[in-house]
Amino acid sequence: MKIDSSFKPTTAGIAPKTTPAQPAPAASPSEAVSLSPLAGSLRGGEAPPVNTARIQEIKQAIAEGRFKINPEAIADRLIESARDLVNSSRREA
């Protein structure tokens, strides 16, 4: 896949905003916000497991030029992750 860098954004057709900015309305006391269980667990300070030995191995391999990138594996896992996201959003709806 090649990324085309020839795109040049234009500002033609964009009118400058001439009206003064309106302050945001204050939230009423009856409005409530709730977090999902996942957001609550993320907020709880639970750190994901980290394999520091593996991280050091990868850093060393990169420094020595031995680290091999497998684009097929990356693509497969990216597609799998996208499928998981789509499937989970369908289950929630």
Domain ranges of the chain: 69-93
Q: What is the pTM of this model?
A: 0.37
Q: Does 22 score more than 70 pLDDT?
A: no
pLDDT at 4: 55
CA distances in angstroms from 85 to 62, 73, 78, 89, listed in the order given: 31, 18, 11, 6
Residue that the structure tokens 């693509």 belong to: 75
Q: Does 83 score more than 70 pLDDT?
A: yes
Confidence of residue 24 (pLDDT cuts 50, 70, 90): low
CA distance 44 to 63: 36
CA distance 13 to 15: 6
Q: Does 26 score more than 70 pLDDT?
A: no
Confidence of residue 39 (pLDDT cuts 50, 70, 90): confident
Amino acid identity at 21: A
